[in-house]
Amino acid sequence: MPPTEAQIQSAYGIAQERYAALGVDTEAAIQQLAGIFLSLHCWQGDDVGGFENPSGELTGGIAATGNFPGKARNPEELRRDLDLVYRLLPGQHRLNLHAIYLEAPGKVERNQIEPAHFSAWVDWAKANHHGLDFNPTLFSHPLAADGFTLSHHDPAIRQYWIEHCIACRKIGDHFGRALGTKSVTNIWIPDGYKDTPADRMAPRRWLLESLDQILAEKLPHTLDAVEPKLFGLGSESYVTGSMEFYTAYAVTRKILLTLDSGHFHPTETIADKISSLLLFLDELLLHVSRGVRWDSDHVVTFNDDLQAIAQEIVRAGALERVHIGLDYFDASINRIASWTIGARSTLRALLSALLEPTGRLRTLELEGDYSTRLALQEELKFMPFHAVWDAWCERQGVPTGMDVLAEIKAYEQRELTGRG
């Protein structure tokens, strides 16, 4: 059974006192958390199908596993599903769109998309006070079938994708202007070789030239980002847009670098990269995911990696410099549960980090008292941060405990089962 309002208030009072003893103001932590806007990924709701060609093959090394009933079949169903997810999250959050989620009466080539194809999304975002972020879609298309797009050896194919990305930047700029909050426009490409290439330099030179053309026009209402990856399905031996390539590009072009927590070696966490990169970049974009043995895009859970990411952002004082997006998709369970569980886990991790006595830990470190530092870090793991979480949810009118799943299950019976 979920806690009653009286139980929530009582538990919060105790937690407030315990944190105060450590020099932590729980109200200040809640206020800071309320100012964090997660960018939810639209593609969780329909397994990255989009509305350009919903029955088309998913390519680019991307795979959605499972066939749980209730996949969104059209924009109206997807927005309805998202409305429920946002109601189950404390705070006000954003939506991250891919270009294939356009709405048009007929086929539109990707290099000809324009803001009008996303007007329904803008109207919905305005009505619900959501910011919008955007992504070109450089996969699931005949001109990406051989695994190359912006770094393709054929200039005509490169030009097609250059035009697509230019169009997407203008759409992102339109979102930012229309909604009064800058849109992050992130470029990820699947380009790479399955086996050892004979020439590593040429594709990267072509990618460099393509990106420079794409970013030539300065747009005031969008933030540009580029997303590296260690390897992918079909690009195990070589990825054109590697971490080294995109780090150098982002630093020299003064744009954002995207860190996807599933895009690195399974033993590698992106948490340690944040402070290093923020010394050279003004802002970062994170795609929070959970890879199991590879970039499997499992639902985000409250694990050590997620907590480390949140702690690093807070300890670095970088909440206003790090944009946090979610990027996973699981079709083996209720898709709304996938969205909600992952988003709530991410917000919980951020709250837990905000409730640390960061100044005290730093002082112990500078004094060389590592024993006390370690002891305090371990004690913090067992502090009643979840009582603070429940109190914030209660203030926001958001359900706590398993009441969240009860609402999802009720919606499943009412709405999702009829979709097949």
DSSP code string of 278-320:
HTT-S-EEEEE-B-SSSS--BPP-S-HHHHHHHHHHHHTT-TT
Would you say the C-alpha torsion 137, 141, 146, 149 has a positive or negative sign?
A: negative
| Other Cβ atoms closer than 10 A to 74 | 12
Q: Which residues are catalytic?
A: 188, 227, 229, 260, 263, 287, 295, 297, 327
Range 374-386 burial, b when 16+ CB lie within 10 A, else e: eebeeebeebbbe
213 vs 215: CA distance, rounded Å: 6
Would you say the C-alpha torsion 242, 243, 248, 253 has a positive or negative sign?
A: positive
Would you say the C-alpha torsion 51, 404, 126, 224 has a positive or negative sign?
A: negative
DSSP state, 388?
Answer: H
Closest CA to 223 of 247, 254, 261: 254
Closest CA to 229 of 215, 217, 240, 214: 240
Q: Which two tokens stand for residue 353?
A: 């980090």
43 vs 335: CA distance, rounded Å: 10
Q: Which two tokens stand for residue 382?
A: 């067992």
By the 10 Å C-beta count (0-12 exposed, 13-18 middle, 19+ buried), 208 is classed as middle
